[in-house]
């Protein structure tokens, strides 16, 4: 949860998170690497006159974004937006 953070801020945080996980060294397993997939969504209202989404909708959107990040490969992140929303609707999400 990143209170007061919109999609742009979420993109910055996701990039730092991916880099931090990529930099992890597993001392007990030399040669192993770590990777992460990140999905993010904003709780903010989508536009004038719209109301904020529910907690369940927020989690569903973050999950849709995670599903969009995974096929792109290791150390990827996606923020829920037009492309992720379109993919989720096409997949029945």
Q: What tokens appear for 50 in the block?
A: 């719209």
Residues near 5 by beta carbon (within 8 Å), at least 6 away in sequence: 13, 42
What does the pLDDT read at residue 90?
44
What does the pLDDT read at residue 91?
46
Q: pLDDT digit string (tens) for 76-92?
A: 888 887 566 555 544 44
Cα-based torsion angle of the residue sequence 6, 87, 74, 57 in order, rounded to the nearest 10 degrees? 50
- Mean pLDDT over 44-58 rounds to 75
End-to-end CA distance of the chain: 22
Q: What is the mean pLDDT of the chain?
A: 77
Q: What tokens appear for 67 in the block?
A: 């599903």
Cβ distance 79 to 50 under 8 Å? no
Q: pLDDT digit string (tens) for 6-19?
A: 777 777 887 888 88
What does the pLDDT read at residue 86?
52
């Amino acid at each position: 949860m990143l209170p007061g953070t919109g999609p742009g801020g979420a993109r910055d945080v996701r990039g730092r998170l991916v880099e931090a996980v990529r930099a992890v060294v597993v001392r007990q397993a030399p040669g192993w690497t770590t990777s992460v997939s990140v999905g993010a969504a904003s709780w903010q209202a989508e536009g004038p006159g719209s109301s904020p989404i529910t907690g369940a909708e927020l989690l569903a959107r973050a999950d849709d974004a995670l599903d969009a990040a995974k096929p792109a490969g290791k150390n990827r992140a996606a923020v829920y937006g037009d492309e992720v929303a379109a993919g989720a609707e096409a997949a029945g999400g």
